[in-house]
Amino acid sequence: MDFLMSGLAACGACVFTNPLEVVKTRMQLQGELQAPGTYKRHYRNVFHAFFTIGKVDGLAALQKGLAPALLYQFLMNGIRLGTYGLAEARGYLHTAEGALSPPRSAAAGALAGVMGAYLGSPIYMVKTHLQAQAASEIAVGHQYKHQGMFQALTEIGQKHGLVGLWRGALGGLPRVVVGSSTQLCTFSSTKDLMSQWEIFPPQSWKVALAAAMVSGIAVVLAMTPFDVACTRLYNQPTDAHGKVRECSGRGRPRRGSCGCWWDSSQMQPAKGGPWWALTSSSPVLSLPLPHAPGPHVPGDPGRSAADSSDRGHFWHVQGYRCLLLPPWPPHHPLPLLLGPAALPLPHVR
Name the helix (H) or strand (E) containing 323.
Answer: strand 320-324
The CATH-assigned architecture of domain 2-267 is Alpha/alpha barrel (1.50)
pLDDT at residue 325 above 50? no
Question: Percentage of the chain surpassing pLDDT 90?
Answer: 40
pLDDT at residue number 241: 66
Q: Taking the model in full, what pTM does it have?
A: 0.68
More confident residue, 257 or 280: 257
Burial (CB count within 10 angstroms: exposed 0-12, middle 13-18, buried 19+), residue 153 = middle
Give the pLDDT confidence of 269-303 residue by residue, as tens digits: 433 343 333 323 322 222 233 333 444 444 444 44
pLDDT surpasses 70 at 258? no
Over residues 4-49, the pLDDT tens digits come to: 887 888 899 999 999 999 999 999 999 888 888 888 999 999 999 9
Whether residue 244 is predicted with pLDDT greater than 90 in this model: the reply is no
- Do 185 and 106 meet the contact criterion of CB atoms below 8 Å apart? yes
Q: Is the pLDDT of residue 246 over 80?
A: no
What are the residue boundaries of the structural domains of the chain, listed by start? 2-267, 285-347
User: Residue type at 313?
Assistant: H
Q: For the chain, what's the residue count?
A: 349
pLDDT at 87 over 80: yes
Interval 309-327 mean pLDDT: 37
Provide the percentage of residues in the chain whose pLDDT is more than 70: 68
DSSP assignment of 210-252, as one string?
HHHHHHHHHHHHHHHHHHHHHHHHHT--B-TTSPBPPPTTTSS
Per-residue pLDDT reduced to its tens digit, 118-169: 999 999 999 999 999 999 999 999 999 999 999 999 999 999 999 899 998 9
Which residues lie closer than 8 Å to 231 by C-beta, 6 or more apart?
25, 28, 29, 128
